[in-house]
Amino acid sequence: MKRIFGVETEFGLAYTQRQTRRLGPEELARHMFRKVVEWGRSSNVFLPNGARLYLDVGSHPEYATAECDSLADLLAQDRAGEGILLELLADAQAAIEAEGHDGTVHLLKNNADSSGNSYGCHENYLIRRTVEFSRLTTALLPFLVSRQLLVGAGALIGAVPPGTRAGEGPATATSGPVFGFSARSDFMWEGVSSATTRSRPIINARDEPHADAALYRRLHVIVGDSNRSETTSLLKLGSAALVIDLIESGRPLKPFTLKDPIADIRLLARDLGSEHRMRLADGGETTAADMLEYFLGEAADLVARGDHSLGDDALAVRVIDLWQRTLTAVRTGDWDPVATEIDWAIKRRLFARYQQRLGLDPGDFGDPRLTRLDLAYHDLTPGAGIFGGLEEAGLAARLTEPATVARAADVPPQTTRARLRGEFIRRAHEQQLDFTVDWVHLRLNDRAQRAVVCKDPFQSEDERVDRLLALMSDA
Ligand SMILES: Nc1ncnc2c1ncn2[C@@H]1O[C@H](COP(=O)(O)OP(=O)(O)OP(=O)(O)O)[C@@H](O)[C@H]1O
Ligand SMILES: [Mg+2]
């Protein structure tokens, strides 16, 4: 079974200064994207590694990985994006210093800013049209609501969750912060819908397959946290892909349709003891841990038979193992066994040590120094972020090799359509030819306007593209 995957990450920008004036996100973003605009004449470009880099609304830089058909490639491409953004960050820092500013530009891989905005990490999974979309989302939604127990980034959130409807409960989470699984959960307002801003859904139903629409659809999951830990990313993407595999396989699955998924997602975000009982549409009840255990059993069966879409058997086995161990950690409250592999557990341990050092009560998360530690966890800025140090010290596990990541910054995945796009872009740059590309199209903006439509994301070789490349070399 094969599948195409891609991950989009929106980053936050912040600025800390000493004497000189404050710079806003728009200014920071402009500095960061100056080279990109020079290079692509736009702040929305595709790169030679097949990825898309652009400035999203609200001055959030976004990196969308090229199409991958294995999780190993996906992790490398995703991590390469962090490096690419760090280079732009260094440019922005140099530019503002040259203008006489004394501050530091921060690049944050998190999901919420202090003014109550949320930005995301979207997962894209190619799915088959043969499976009815509403059947797929109905089966997947309860899993996505519960998945934060395994792969949340860990967050300081208000003890009382926001209401889920107007006039019901507070509009934003209130009263003294607690440690929760995810900050993103409070920003979800619907299960499945095509709106993304006002009433943000868990699954975005906009039908934009970037592929042959008769065969495929692209499932756009927007509920996930931006993970720093690669092992957590692996579990996030791997577990979801395995559940999609299960649904697509047609195997009969226990229905877990939730009565009130949005209330559940908020309560679960604060439910470190995994006690919350979710009400099911059929009148029953379940805990998130019980549901995840059920899906784990089914997914383990697929992996044991080698019948999965992760593109790598060893990584699939690792997904199952980590899924099991994280579930056990949640159930027992002994988080140490996953405290180097799962973001929320890594962060929770860090907080516990810091609380001890500061002489704070273990239940006290209100100290502003903890808020700063939380930000530092998500800060990619050299000298300000702490996650790289945790990886180097062995306190956070890493899966990718630095050399593989360095290569992924320049070289697209070799087994998908991204290879064709990357090659086309590289050649066009070499020959200084004007071109336009998107996920599906490659076009030369010369008089002949030669173009190739690449509708099959699994296709990494194409004679039409070869001919186009040959023409470009002759130019
Ligand atoms: N056919 C496909 N199936 C699954 N994923 C795909 C497919 N084609 C492209 N992708 C992936 O989908 C992602 C698309 O990112 P992009 O940011 O352009 O999409 P979008 O979120 O729908 O658009 P926008 O952010 O502008 O609203 C990329 O990571 C890409 O690799
Ligand atoms: Mg996007």
* Average of per-residue pLDDT across 10-23: 94
d(CA 157, CA 176): 8
Instruction: Report the run of H or E that residue 155 belongs to, with start and end.
Output: strand 155-160
- Enumerate the H helices of 33-161 as residue ranges: 34-40, 71-98, 133-146, 148-151
pLDDT confidence tier of residue 196, bands split at 50, 70 and 90: low
> Is the predicted pLDDT of residue 423 greater than 80, yes or no?
yes
- Closest atom of ligand 1 to 66 CA is 31
The token pair that represents 300 in the structure block: 């383990």
Main-chain phi, psi angles of 337, to 5 degrees: -60, -20
CA–centroid distance, 312 to ligand 1, in Å, is 22
* 12-16 and 121-128 strand pairing: unpaired
Q: Which residue has the higher pLDDT, 113 or 77?
A: 77
Question: DSSP string of 294-313?
Answer: HHHHHHHHHHHTT--SSS-H
408-to-51, 52, 201, 379 alpha-carbon distances in Å: 10, 13, 31, 22
CA–centroid distance, 64 to ligand 2, in Å, is 6
Biggest distance spanned by C-alpha atoms of the chain: 71
d(CA 13, CA 379): 10
Residue 435 near residue 445 (C-beta atoms within 8 A): yes
pLDDT confidence tier of residue 56, bands split at 50, 70 and 90: confident
CA–centroid distance, 124 to ligand 1, in Å, is 6
The reply to whether 125 sits in an annotated binding site is no
Residue of 133, 439, 440 to test ligand 1 pocket, by largest number of atoms within 8 Å of CB: 439
pLDDT confidence tier of residue 331, bands split at 50, 70 and 90: very high
Binding pocket residue ranges, ligand 1, CB within 6 Å: 4, 6-8, 52, 64-67, 122, 124, 126, 208-211, 216, 218, 220, 439, 457
> Is the predicted pLDDT of residue 195 greater than 80, yes or no?
no
* pLDDT score, position 88: 97
* pLDDT score, position 169: 81
d(CA 404, CA 73): 9
d(CA 317, CA 303): 7
Ligand closest to CA 413: 1
Instruction: Report the run of H or E that residue 44 belongs to, with start and end.
Output: strand 44-46
Residue pLDDT, tens place only, 61-86: 999 999 999 999 999 999 999 999 99
Residue pLDDT, tens place only, 371-389: 999 999 999 999 999 999 9
3-state secondary structure of 49: coil
pLDDT confidence tier of residue 115, bands split at 50, 70 and 90: confident
Q: Which residues, listed in sequence order, are joined to residue 155 by a DSSP beta bridge?
A: 180
pLDDT confidence tier of residue 198, bands split at 50, 70 and 90: low
* pLDDT score, position 93: 97
Residue 374 near residue 366 (C-beta atoms within 8 A): no
154-to-35, 277, 474 alpha-carbon distances in Å: 34, 21, 54
> Is the predicted pLDDT of residue 207 greater than 70, yes or no?
yes
CA–centroid distance, 111 to ligand 2, in Å, is 15
- Closest atom of ligand 1 to 6 CA is 29
Residue 421 near residue 46 (C-beta atoms within 8 A): yes
- Closest atom of ligand 1 to 124 CA is 5
Instruction: Report the run of H or E that residue 430 belongs to, with start and end.
Output: helix 418-430
Ramachandran assignment for 304, one of left (phi > 0), alpha (psi -120 to 50 degrees), beta (any other): alpha
d(CA 49, CA 457): 15
> Is the predicted pLDDT of residue 444 greater than 70, yes or no?
yes
**What angle (nearest 5°) sits at the alpha carbon of residue 242, between those of residues 240 and 244?**
70
pLDDT confidence tier of residue 57, bands split at 50, 70 and 90: confident
* pLDDT score, position 341: 98
Residue of 2, 67, 309 to test ligand 1 pocket, by largest number of atoms within 8 Å of CB: 67
Rounded percentage of the chain residues whose pLDDT exceeds 70: 99
> Is the predicted pLDDT of residue 327 greater than 70, yes or no?
yes
Active site members: 56
* Adjacency order of strands within the sheet including 441-444: 435-437, 441-444, 451-453
Rounded percentage of the chain residues whose pLDDT exceeds 90: 91
3-state secondary structure of 80: helix
Ramachandran assignment for 63, one of left (phi > 0), alpha (psi -120 to 50 degrees), beta (any other): beta
The token pair that represents 431 in the structure block: 């020959």
Residues 6+ apart with CB under 8 A from 408: 49, 73, 76, 77, 79, 80
Average pLDDT in the chain? 95
Residue pLDDT, tens place only, 157-167: 999 999 888 77
> Is the predicted pLDDT of residue 299 greater than 80, yes or no?
yes
* pLDDT score, position 390: 98
pLDDT confidence tier of residue 194, bands split at 50, 70 and 90: confident
pLDDT confidence tier of residue 176, bands split at 50, 70 and 90: confident
* 60-64 and 121-128 strand pairing: unpaired
The reply to whether 439 sits in an annotated binding site is yes
* pLDDT score, position 303: 98
The token pair that represents 111 in the structure block: 């999901």
* pLDDT score, position 197: 61
> Is the predicted pLDDT of residue 271 greater than 80, yes or no?
yes
pLDDT confidence tier of residue 448, bands split at 50, 70 and 90: confident
